[in-house]
């Protein structure tokens, strides 16, 4: 039976869409991201589509066809075969919505037919069927990771979709996984909303149905705050932030509970770490340089990352950075490369080229904060502000 597909957006409808959303490829932290379908009916209040003023588009629409999208991806100036991690439909829709998944599989199959072995990250909170799992298993070359978003948020005004759908997807996909891997994407964690002891215990129990689990916080930008205010929703924090918010006390409580399980299900702070571990590969984002991130990582995985970790040559860094438009020669230390004048896309290109963290010198990543917003981390005790670079 032919599945219904997302309708093509008419030219006159495109006039109302933010230009950034009409650009289907964006280099994000976890990879080069393909988003040629926009629109979603799931109504998560914290959706990043608020940033593009696209939240009211409930029906998924196509910007272009799958063949064009796949070929745009592999001919993108920052695409490197077998190296660049890829993501699909992680910005403006859910890949397993009924009218979206035919496009997901078509693009995945087109890329796979090229023999590409790049990572492909697929993030969903929708229902994934047995047939869907079989189709994922049929992908032979790409390293597919299904990241199943689960928050446990009970407030239907914030997250209307039933969490049991994600639970069913997770357990089924994990049971059926042969050629793909399953990550429990435990997010967004919000203080006061889904951080009770029972929420944490429940998520850690679910983590036993995944190859790895990553926990992370909430993006709360001004546009999202405006929506919360308009709808009269309880605001998770007073001020919006540029980075994800996950307060230190909540991370501590999660890790304390996790230690009680005997460090049971593998738990990670970074998406790329969870994805890489699930495939038994070293972290492609070079987080190993940020040594304190690794204190919860399985011993075998630490060894894998240590073996692969190489500080790049200063000359190679300078040459690449300057060719990408850097305004100064980058500095490098044992943790990261610091660049000036490069926006996110060339920085991520450098990061995936070298397998080494690449930061903007104006936005330093502070020890132990793991690139998160400063909310809830500013009263650092001494033991947490000292670097652990050994």
Question: Binding of ligand SF4 at residue 190 (CB under 6 A)?
Answer: no
Contacts of residue 230, defined as CB under 8 A and 6 or more positions apart, other chains included, come to none
| Complex with ligand SF4: residue 52 or 277, whichever CB lies closer | 277
Minimum Å distance from CB 94 to ligand SF4? 27
How far is it, in rounded angstroms, from Cα 175 to Cα 169? 10
Contacts of residue 142, defined as CB under 8 A and 6 or more positions apart, other chains included, come to 86, 108, 111, 112, 116, 117, 118, 119, 120
| Complex with ligand SF4: residue 36 or 270, whichever CB lies closer | 270
Minimum Å distance from CB 337 to ligand SF4? 16
Residue from 73, 166, 305, 326 touching ligand SF4 (CB under 6 A): that is 305
In the chain, % helix, strand, coil (3-state, to 5) comes to 35, 15, 50
Strands (E), the chain: 25-28, 31-34, 37-38, 61-62, 86-88, 119-124, 143-150, 180-186, 212-215, 267-268, 331-332, 336-339, 357-360
The CA–CA distances, whole Å, from 211 to 171, 174, 203, 233 equal: 11, 8, 14, 34
Which residues, 120 to 149, sit near ligand SF4 by CB under 6 A? none
How far is it, in rounded angstroms, from Cα 311 to Cα 355? 9
| Complex with ligand SF4: residue 288 or 348, whichever CB lies closer | 288
Minimum Å distance from CB 297 to ligand SF4? 3
Binding residues for ligand SF4, total number by CB under 6 A:
13
| Complex with ligand SF4: residue 36 or 287, whichever CB lies closer | 287
Q: For residues 103-113, b (16+ Cβ closer than 10 Å) or e, as one string?
A: bbbbbbebbbe
| Complex with ligand SF4: residue 118 or 271, whichever CB lies closer | 271
Residue 38: strand, helix, or coil: strand
How far is it, in rounded angstroms, from Cα 284 to Cα 118? 11
Minimum Å distance from CB 264 to ligand SF4? 16
Chain Cα centroid distance, residue 234: 25
Residue 132: strand, helix, or coil: helix
| Complex with ligand SF4: residue 297 or 326, whichever CB lies closer | 297
| Complex with ligand SF4: residue 293 or 332, whichever CB lies closer | 293
Minimum Å distance from CB 248 to ligand SF4? 18
| Complex with ligand SF4: residue 184 or 297, whichever CB lies closer | 297
Minimum Å distance from CB 382 to ligand SF4? 24
Residue from 302, 318, 328, 366 touching ligand SF4 (CB under 6 A): that is 302
**Cβ–Cβ < 8 Å for 146, 88:** no
Minimum Å distance from CB 289 to ligand SF4? 8
- Residue span 272-301 as binding mask against ligand SF4, x where in contact by CB under 6 A, dash where not: -x--xx-----x---xx----xx--x---x
Total residues found in the chain within this entry: 390
Which residues, 252 to 271, sit near ligand SF4 by CB under 6 A? 270
Applying CB under 6 A, which residues contact ligand SF4? 270, 273, 276-277, 283, 287-288, 293-294, 297, 301-302, 305
């Amino acid at each position: 039976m032919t599945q219904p597909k997302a309708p093509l957006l008419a030219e006159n409808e495109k006039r109302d869409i933010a230009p950034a959303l009409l650009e289907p490829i964006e280099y994000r932290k976890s990879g080069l991201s393909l988003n040629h379908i926009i629109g979603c009916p799931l109504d998560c209040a914290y959706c990043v589509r608020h940033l593009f003023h696209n939240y009211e588009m409930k029906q998924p629409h196509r910007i272009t066809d799958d063949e064009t999208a796949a070929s745009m991806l592999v001919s993108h100036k920052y695409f490197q075969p077998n190296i660049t991690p890829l993501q699909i439909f992680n910005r403006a829709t859910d890949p397993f919505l009924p009218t979206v998944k035919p496009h997901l599989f078509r693009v995945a199959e087109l890329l796979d037919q090229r023999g590409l072995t790049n990572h492909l990250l697929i993030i969903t909170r929708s229902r994934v069927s047995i047939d869907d799992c079989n189709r994922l298993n049929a992908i032979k070359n790409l390293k597919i990771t299904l990241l199943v978003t689960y928050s446990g948020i009970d407030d239907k005004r914030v997250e209307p979709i039933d969490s049991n759908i994600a639970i069913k997807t997770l357990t089924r996909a994990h049971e059926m996984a042969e050629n793909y891997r399953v990550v429990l994407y435990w997010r967004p964690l919000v203080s006061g909303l889904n951080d009770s002891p029972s929420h944490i215990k429940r998520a850690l129990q679910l983590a036993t149905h995944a190859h790895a689990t990553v926990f992370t916080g909430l993006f709360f930008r001004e546009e999202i705050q405006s929506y919360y205010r308009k709808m009269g929703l309880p605001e998770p924090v007073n001020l919006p932030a540029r980075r994800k918010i996950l307060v230190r006390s909540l991370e501590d409580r999660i890790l304390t509970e996790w230690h009680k399980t005997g460090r049971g299900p593998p738990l990670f702070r970074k998406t790329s770490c969870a994805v890489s571990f699930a495939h038994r590969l070293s972290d492609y984002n070079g987080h190993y340089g940020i040594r304190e991130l690794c204190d919860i990582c399985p011993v075998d995985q630490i060894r894998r990352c240590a073996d692969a970790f190489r500080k790049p040559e200063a000359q190679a860094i300078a040459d690449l950075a300057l060719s990408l438009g850097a305004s100064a020669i980058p500095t490098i230390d044992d943790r990261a490369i610091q660049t000036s004048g490069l926006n996110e896309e060339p920085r991520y290109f450098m990061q995936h080229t070298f397998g080494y963290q690449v930061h903007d010198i104006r936005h330093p990543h502070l020890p132990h904060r793991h690139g998160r917003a400063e909310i809830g981390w500013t009263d650092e005790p001494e033991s947490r502000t000292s670097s652990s670079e050994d």
